[in-house]
Amino acid sequence: MIVRIMGEGQLRIADEHFPELNRLDDELGDAIESGDDELFRAALVKLLEEVRRVGTPVPDDELVDSDLVLPYAEAHVDEVRSLLTDEGLIPAEPPTTR
């Protein structure tokens, strides 16, 4: 799966990391629903840090479409809420691996 973090670039994520990313995505969804800005910010940063940790940067000269776009760490809760689907930011199943 190719993930773009807004303002940073793309990362290639192996399917094996999907369960943990989904768990962190669920935490983010709960934090958004809670209305607690500190909890929201911590959950968003945690998700992005994990994506960066497990992802491999896509070289700048490699042109690939992103399967998923994540907000930047400083995004407002309303910006993140607008990106949510019924599954959150991360789909339940990984898209076809590239």
Extents of the domains making up the chain: 2-83
Rg (CA), the chain: 13
pLDDT, mean of residues 22-44? 91
pLDDT at 35 over 90: no
* Averaged pLDDT, 21-25: 93
Q: What pLDDT is stored for residue 85 in this prediction? A: 72
Higher pLDDT, 57 or 35: 57
Question: Residue 30 belongs to what H/E stretch?
Answer: helix 18-34
User: pTM of the entire structure?
Assistant: 0.85
Could you report the per-residue pLDDT of 4-18, keeping only the tens digit for each? 999 999 999 999 998
